[in-house]
């Protein structure tokens, strides 16, 4: 758990820092004023924020309200004495503080022990909520259609044609496997971004894909979807001539993506993606191959057609429209 501290006393900040480190948690930042706290929380929102109520530049409850509006998080209000100023505490909790605590002292070991327990309990609550949120997110993602596109020789121009026709927001996750050395993948993503209205990014290892985003394989290893619905890079199979492999991603999607899939195989030399597209087709999913006339190299789509893995063969200019029609 990442914790931040707002207090005008450096001595108290040092005490809190020691207590938090002793619990095994990290301090992400500290500051002495409300103005700094608002800025810091916006740039780096902590999991738990300890806020002094009698700051010099702003009332504590007002600061808590501003942070909860702009960067909501769990907050403990710290007062010189909870018993002396109950009104301030109730104002702080009304503004969004989860709990309140009197300022601990090195002379009062009970107060230190009690604050430690409070932080530990919040950590358990935070972990529990985080787990629930991850499960909800994974469930939501897995109810989303996934459009998988494989391409090789002539692929960049073909991909650009499709992506330029897509709306800025879609209800699907898009994944592109383009045969390309990893030293050029970032440049290609940037090139596509500059000419389209949607966000294209390099897929990261262990990343949960987001609805409406377009991801590209970005290493010389094979990009796959694992059983948790996250991206994963794997070097196996080592002897596969195409890297990253369209087949490997397609097969992983069929195995681990329980919802609708659309498979698209574009221009390219060789046979990569044909068997993977067949696995889509055999699962009853919609599959598209770029037609011969619009291909730079009619290799990969031809191989898929020979396997009878293709629902429809289309000119490159018609593929985006067909995908969108089949997402409905």
Those residues with Cβ within 8 angstroms of residue 277's Cβ, 6 or more apart along the chain or in another chain = 150, 250, 263, 265, 287, 289, 304, 307, 309, 310
SS3 188: helix
- Residue 179 falls in the annotated catalytic set: yes
Q: Find out whether 77 and 101 touch, Cβ atoms under 8 Å.
A: yes
Copy the structure tokens of residue 22. Answer: 């002793």
CA–CA separation, 11 vs 296, rounded Å? 69
Q: Which of 47, 61, 151, 179 is catalytic?
A: 179
Q: Which of 47, 88, 272, 291 is catalytic?
A: 272
CA–CA separation, 201 vs 192, rounded Å? 10
Give the DSSP H/E element, type plus range, for residue 312: strand 312-314
- Residue 291 falls in the annotated catalytic set: no
- Residue 272 falls in the annotated catalytic set: yes
For 207, other C-beta atoms within 10 Å of its C-beta total 14
CA–CA separation, 289 vs 272, rounded Å? 13
Q: Find out whether 52 and 60 touch, Cβ atoms under 8 Å.
A: yes
- The angle at the Cα of 284, spanning 283 to 287, to the nearest 5 degrees, equals 100
Q: Number of C-alpha atoms within 13 angstroms, CB side, residue 297? A: 14
SS3 42: helix
Q: Which of 152, 245, 279, 294 is catalytic?
A: 152
Q: Find out whether 76 and 122 touch, Cβ atoms under 8 Å.
A: yes
Those residues with Cβ within 8 angstroms of residue 3's Cβ, 6 or more apart along the chain or in another chain = 20, 25, 26, 27, 28, 46, 47, 48, 49, 50, 119
Q: Would you state the torsion angle of the CA atoms of residues 183, 184, 189, 192, taken in this order, to the nearest 10 degrees? A: 170
Give the residue numbers annotated as catalytic, written as ranges.
Answer: 152, 179, 272
């Amino acid at each position: 758990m990442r914790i931040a501290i707002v207090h005008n006393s450096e001595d108290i900040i040092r005490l809190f820092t020691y207590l938090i480190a002793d619990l095994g948690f990290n301090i992400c930042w500290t500051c002495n004023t409300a103005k700094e706290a608002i800025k810091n929380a916006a740039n780096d929102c902590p999991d738990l924020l300890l806020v002094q109520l009698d700051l010099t530049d702003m009332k504590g409850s007002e600061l808590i309200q501003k942070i909860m509006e702009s960067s909501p998080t769990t907050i403990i209000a710290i007062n010189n004495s909870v018993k002396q100023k109950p009104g301030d505490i109730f104002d702080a909790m009304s503004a969004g503080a989860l709990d309140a605590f009197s300022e601990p002292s090195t002379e009062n070991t009970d107060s230190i022990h009690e604050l430690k327990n409070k932080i530990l309990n919040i950590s358990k609550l935070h972990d529990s909520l985080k787990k629930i949120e991850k499960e909800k997110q994974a469930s939501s993602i897995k109810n989303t259609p996934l459009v998988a596109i494989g391409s090789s020789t002539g692929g960049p121009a073909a991909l650009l044609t499709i992506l330029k026709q897509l709306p800025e927001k879609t209800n699907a996750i898009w994944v592109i496997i383009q045969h390309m050395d990893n030293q050029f993948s970032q440049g290609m993503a940037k090139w596509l971004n500059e000419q389209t209205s949607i966000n294209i990014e390099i897929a990261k290892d262990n990343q949960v894909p987001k609805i409406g985003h377009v991801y590209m394989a970005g290493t010389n290893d094979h990009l796959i979807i694992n059983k948790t619905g996250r991206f994963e890079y794997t070097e196996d199979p080592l002897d596969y001539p195409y890297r990253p492999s369209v087949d490997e991603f397609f097969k992983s999607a069929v195995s681990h993506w329980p919802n609708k899939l659309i498979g698209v195989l574009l221009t390219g030399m060789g046979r990569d993606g044909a068997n993977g597209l067949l696995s889509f087709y055999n699962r009853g999913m919609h599959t598209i191959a770029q037609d011969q006339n619009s291909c730079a190299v009619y290799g990969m789509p031809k191989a898929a057609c020979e396997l009878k893995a293709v629902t429809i063969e289309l000119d490159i200019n018609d593929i985006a429209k067909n995908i969108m029609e089949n997402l409905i």
